[in-house]
Structure 1
């Protein structure tokens, strides 16, 4: 019998939230998606009116999943893009981190893959 080795979304979200809190960064779950298989978008607000949001996508060259930019620019425009995405996919998780340096923690071991 085959089993799915993918990590449940809520487990990954919990790890990301914990890692951010340990780094002293404010983090929020702005939309709670499907616990087991919801997609995730992470938004980083740099507190200067700008933001970047990333989502997981397949890297066709390597055959692996990677975090790629979903939207970036004026924070209001990024928020509007996130609202449209959430309206199309109610299982979508929307996470937000605030960091003047623009750190998302998505490149850290255990969170990047």
Structure 2
């Protein structure tokens, strides 16, 4: 089956917005394919506001989260593999969802009997 992470990200993002809160995402900055300004990275991670007032062209696809955001007055194109997103939560109260690391399985799961 495909990953449920993009579906959950979209649902939690919508839920946070519907409740008038500010959605933030926590990203593993060292994951392959993460494109963020280096100055935003702290301890190998980055926290990004994905509120509609803070970003443009926000999209959660099956493989990638992408949007435009301004840092220090300069617009940047942000691209994040969905698998690099560790959490999505409301800035005001911390409610949201954490995700486990999506390491590829070393071998296929066993077949049911």
Query: TM > 0.5 between the two?
Result: no
Task: Answer 1 or 2: which has greater helix percent.
Answer: 1
Please report the TM-score for the alignment, with normalisation by the length of structure 2: 0.32
Please report the TM-score for the alignment, with normalisation by the length of structure 1: 0.32
Bigger relative contact order, structure 1 or 2, given CA contacts below 8 A and separation 6+?
1
